Structure 1
Amino acid sequence: MTGDSSKNGKSASSDLEMTTLEGIVGFHMRKAILRAQSSFATVAGKKLMTGQYSVMAIINENPGRTQSAIAEAAGLDRSSLVPILNKFEKDGLILRAPVKGDKRAYAVRLTKKGERELAALEKNVREIEDRVISGLGEKDHKKLIDLLKRFHDII
């Protein structure tokens, strides 16, 4: 066995005391996020990470909106969004156009290639979400989303 497993086949981490972290929302949220990102990367073929998918979805539903508006909606600062958009533009997934009356602002929209890529990813995202709904049930799935939104507003 490797150093990551105990003699009974359980992971080594299951033998660790974690009483301090058991009641910490941030700890469990971080673990859930890491697991979700790993699942997403697997089904998406590691083409995009979850934050990038979110940006594509926001752009798709709000074509022509500014980079600042997209960053805010995605929960990113502009400095985090720009490299994502640069990659999207290089890959032919988006087009950026100057906003009339504001020389520093750019409006963003998906290209046809970007729309196709997003549609393929949405199918995979739906599979993951269906697995979550199956495990939690529809009521608890909705409740989890509502709680996460409330958490965001509180923090």
Structure 2
Amino acid sequence: MAKAGKAEPLDLGDVDRSVAYYLSIADGLCLQTFLTMVGGRARNARYIILSLIRQNPGVTQVELGSTNFRDKSSMSPIIAGFVADGIVRRERISRAGRPAMALFLTGKGEALLGELQPIAEDHIARMIGIMGESDHASLIALLRKLSLGLADLTDELARGRAAASQ
């Protein structure tokens, strides 16, 4: 019997075997805890993208998007927002003989990341505290493998759909 104010858990049926279901729940809760910890100062995606720019100064928007499995068009508003906020600057470069825009953190971006870094480290430590060091490492490895496999599957399905429509 459920406690007062708590509903009985639903019978999940086949959903209980769905990776997408549990990933969605874990993602939502993980993001919610991060937002709570940073006091709304930045979203997890913002922190991740800024960290990648810091780690890879001069990275292009296309390179950054491919790391996050996003296309250039979905990265554009994020980067434009960073530029407007003065935390990222763009610099024209040439890559493989083609013009590109390299991304760099500004002093303001470095300062923001400096504030967020210890909070992100604490967030990671809390995740490890929930599941243990070994399970955390295993989960990261499994999620990396799943992400790469799903990216390949998405490409394969898109090619199959394109071929079928011709």
Superposition TM-score tier, normalisation by shorter sequence? 0.7 to 0.9
Equivalent in 17, 22, 33 of residue 27 of structure 2: 33
Equivalent in 114, 135, 138 of residue 143 of structure 1: 138
1:44 aligned to 2:61?
no
Q: CA RMSD in A?
A: 1.7
Deviation at 1:47, TM superposition (A): 2.4
1:69 aligned to 2:35?
no
The one-letter code of the counterpart of 1:149 is R
Q: Distance in 2 between matches of 1:10 and 1:150?
A: 40
Contact 1:58 1:74 in 2 (8 A): no
Deviation at 1:7, TM superposition (A): 6.6
Partner of 2:120: 125
Partner of 2:6: 11
1:102 aligned to 2:98?
yes
Partner of 1:24: 18
Equivalent in 106, 109, 113 of residue 111 of structure 1: 106
Q: Distance in 2 between matches of 1:119 and 1:111?
A: 12
1:84 aligned to 2:78?
yes
Q: Secondary structure at the match of 1:107?
A: strand
Deviating 4+ runs (over 3 angstroms): 100-103
Q: Distance in 1 between matches of 2:23 and 2:131?
A: 16
Q: Secondary structure at the match of 2:120?
A: helix
Q: Distance in 2 between matches of 1:52 and 1:148?
A: 20
Q: Secondary structure at the match of 1:47?
A: coil
Instruction: Describe the superposition over 1:36-58 as per-residue Cα deviations: whole angstroms up to 9, x where unpaired.
Output: 11111111222222222111011
Q: Normalising to structure 1: TM-score of the pair?
A: 0.88
Q: Distance in 1 between matches of 2:12 and 2:74?
A: 33
Q: Percent identity?
A: 29
The one-letter code of the counterpart of 2:6 is S
- Give unpaired runs (5+ residues) of structure 1: 1-5
Q: Secondary structure at the match of 1:108?
A: strand
Q: Distance in 2 between matches of 1:152 and 1:7?
A: 37
